[in-house]
Amino acid sequence: MNPIQEPWPWYVAGPLIGLTVPLLLIIGNKALGVSSSLRHICAACFPGKIPFFNYDWKKESWNLFFVGGIALGAVFCLAFMHNGEPVQLNEATITALKAQGVQEFDELMPGDIFNWGNITSPIGLLFFVTGGFMVGFGTRYANGCTSGHSIMGLSTLQWPSLVATICFMAGGFVMTNFILPHLMKWLLL
Amino acid sequence: MKNLKYLLIGMLFGIILVKSEVISWFRIQEMFRLESFHMYGVIGSAVITGILGVLLIRKLGIRTISGEAIVLPKKPFTKGNIFGGLIFGLGWAITGACPGPLFAQIGSGFTVVIVTLLSAVAGTWVYGLLKEKLPH
């Protein structure tokens, strides 16, 4: 295996993600969490008179550097660590998604859905606008996302984070198995 | 300048997210269709490593590099953990990305995800607007 070009197995990636928790704590007493950055962006750009956005976001600016780093890290991967191979998916997943209208399987994302040509279409309205809105609204309402609750919260053994994680999974399970297939067949076929 | 180190840690985090393919919309579909162990393995082993790391910090009384005592923030329970959690889960399966991977998808060249990110910022803003009216 060439670790530069090839994808990493779960038992390499998972522990590395987990190590981010003690690393951030030891480096600067920071709690891992990504969705807070969305709140800081609101507070910095358009706080209005909303109390939830009137706080000193600059004190939390490390979080914005962190998410900027995530994007830069992905750019680095694209430039230097990319193998250009399709994701090695379960054949059953590919078959099911093809039946729902997905055609392109050669990259990390289905290119027939995630492209600028869909920006004003119902596909864009579902996958970018509605999906994105639910991610932003839901994570803030839940007071955290997969990183803040499922990694950081569970690492510090907080039961509300377990409740949140179970609800994340339940919502995702319902959408993937009972709602999205119908929407995709309608929009993509 | 003190924030530069967080940019670097973010970069490492982003590289791990991309190389493990957890930012892939396909991997999220596979996970929720229960057709692959990959995502469960990543999240499960991340949590176990995190628990052990935090346990070591506590047992050994490790302090930050500048000598402060380490503070583990509390996440108090609210009904939002349930309602918000379900809404996020539904959205996660559509976008194929939780907030961290949104940034990584954009960096991976799927620039249209900028629209998803802006929608997520809008969702956060609307939550802030409606916060007092929502059950917590």
Q: What is the pLDDT along chain B (136 residues), one digit of tens a residue?
A: 789 999 999 999 999 999 999 999 999 999 999 999 999 999 999 999 999 999 999 999 999 999 999 999 999 999 999 999 999 999 999 999 999 999 999 999 999 999 999 999 999 999 999 999 999 9
CA distance A126 to chain B (A): 8
3-state secondary structure of A5: coil
Q: What is the pLDDT of residue A4?
A: 86
Q: What is the pLDDT of residue B104?
A: 98
Mutate to test the interface with A, among B12, B24, B26, B136 (most CBs of A within 10 A): B26
**Cβ separation A68–B10 shorter than 8 A:** yes
Whether the per-residue pLDDT at A1 is higher than 70: the answer is no
Output the six-digit token pair for A185.
Answer: 């067949």
Here the ipTM equals 0.97
CA distance B48 to chain A (A): 7
Measured between beta carbons, the chain B residues lying within 8 angstroms of A22 are 50, 53-54, 56-57
Its sign, for the CA torsion B58, B59, B61, B63, is negative
Measured between beta carbons, the chain B residues lying within 8 angstroms of A96 are 33
pLDDT in tens, A120-153: 999 999 999 999 999 999 999 999 999 999 999 9
Helix segments in B22-112, DSSP class H:
25-32, 38-60, 80-95, 99-107
Residue entry with tokens 């289905």 = A110
What residues have CB less than 8 Å from A85, skipping those under 6 apart? none
The answer to whether A23 and B56 have CB atoms below 8 angstroms apart is no
Q: What is the pLDDT of residue A2?
A: 81
